């Protein structure tokens, strides 16, 4: 996996292909794409009907000849051809102009820490088909740490929890590298599915996955202590409204949150004691699109006893950190020369 800053600085584009959203950063321009990773395609002709937010609104509401496709799952490209078509439609003319100006365009892309060779190859092939002549693979945890403003290049510990749509990565960073890391199969969509399954099992109510917003407000507490949701009755097929209290919702999401806590403990057990001592003051930084899930920060704070902070615009941390790397705003790790080894003065 490429982590040379000299090579990354030569890139003109930074890409973060997430299961939930796709983000593209253009050098000296900024963020040019921030859209859901969804494509609607006509199964008869193969033509694209919609890309991004319009395609996401079609999910579950299309006729038989229109199929809604998510070419990225768990941070891995599962449909290279559809991912390429999605990116071409999203970047529009901005990136095509850059390709014409720089035929030897380099693109940097965030990949998961433990991505297998097939997942890395899929990301590589996706960008080569977009017109790139060279692709640099960058660890998404390090990019997120830089985007969150953590002192990644310093000899001190920084713990990051990158919450995605389907997976969550936990890592301790120091001196520009990863000391210990773990991946948990839990994300924003996992919590939503747990809430939907709870309604089906306990209240015999079918709820669309897009209608979980009232449940999120109930999980947040404050004045939204109870949630009122409308769905379809399993037995009669008619619409029905139920009221759900906050305690029941917290019990419904306890299982996926417990797996995340186990992952954090596993990472801490594999860290040297000195780095764990640093984390007692700095705590945990949450990044990723699901970092603002109601109740997540409070749950981690109560169960770990460490401070927990949510990064500014957590969903943009990875692409923002990779953008800072291609802009040359990240200093390489350098060791100062000890005084006793300095050259003598003539």
- Average pLDDT of adjacent 10-residue blocks, the chain of 346 residues: 75 90 91 93 93 90 91 89 92 67 77 90 90 90 94 89 92 92 89 85 79 72 64 85 81 85 93 88 91 86 92 94 92 49 36
- What residues have CB less than 8 Å from 80, skipping those under 6 apart? 71, 122, 125, 126, 129
Q: What would the two tokens of residue 222 be?
A: 């404050």
Q: pTM here?
A: 0.86
Burial class from Cβ neighbours inside 10 Å (0-12, 13-18, 19+) for residue 78 reads middle
Report the distance separating Cα 135 and Cα 107, nearest Å.
5
d(CA 202, CA 278): 44
Give the Cα separation of 33 and 258 in Å (integer). Answer: 34
Q: What is the DSSP letter of 17?
A: E
In 3D space, the residue among 346, 324, 343, 341 whose CA is nearest the CA of residue 16 turns out to be 324
Euclidean distance between CA atoms 57 and 68, whole angstroms: 10
């Amino acid at each position: 996996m490429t982590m040379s800053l000299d090579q990354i600085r030569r890139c003109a584009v930074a890409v973060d292909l997430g299961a939930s959203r796709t983000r593209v950063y253009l050098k000296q321009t900024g963020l040019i794409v921030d859209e859901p990773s969804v494509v609607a395609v006509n199964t008869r002709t193969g033509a694209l009907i919609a890309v991004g937010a319009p395609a996401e609104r079609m999910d579950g509401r299309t006729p038989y000849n229109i199929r809604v496709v998510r070419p990225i799952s768990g941070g891995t490209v599962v449909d290279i051809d559809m991912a390429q078509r999605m990116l071409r439609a999203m970047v529009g003319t901005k990136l095509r102009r850059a390709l014409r100006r720089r035929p030897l365009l380099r693109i940097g892309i965030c990949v998961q820490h433990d991505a297998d060779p097939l997942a890395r190859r899929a990301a590589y092939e996706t960008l080569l088909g977009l017109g790139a002549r060279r692709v640099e693979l960058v660890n998404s945890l390090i990019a997120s740490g830089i985007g969150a403003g953590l002192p990644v290049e310093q000899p001190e510990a920084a713990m990051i929890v990158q919450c995605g749509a389907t997976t969550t990565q936990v890592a301790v960073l120091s001196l520009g590298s990863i000391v210990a890391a773990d991946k948990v199969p839990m994300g924003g969509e996992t919590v939503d599915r747990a809430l939907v399954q709870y309604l089906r099992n306990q209240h015999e109510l079918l709820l669309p996955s897009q209608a979980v917003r009232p449940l999120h407000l109930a999980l947040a507490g404050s004045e939204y202590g109870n949630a009122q949701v409308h769905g379809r009755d399993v037995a009669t097929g008619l619409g029905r409204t139920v009221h759900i209290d906050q305690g029941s919702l917290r019990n419904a999401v306890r299982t996926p949150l417990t797996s995340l806590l186990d992952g954090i403990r596993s990472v801490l057990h594999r860290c040297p004691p000195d780095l764990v001592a640093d984390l007692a003051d700095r705590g945990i930084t949450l990044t990723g699109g699901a970092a603002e899930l109601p109740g997540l920060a409070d749950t981690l704070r109560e169960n770990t006893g460490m401070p927990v902070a949510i990064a500014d615009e957590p969903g943009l941390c990875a692409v923002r950190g990779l953008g800072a790397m291609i802009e040359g705003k990240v200093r390489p790790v350098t060791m100062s020369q000890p005084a006793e080894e300095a050259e003598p003065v003539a």
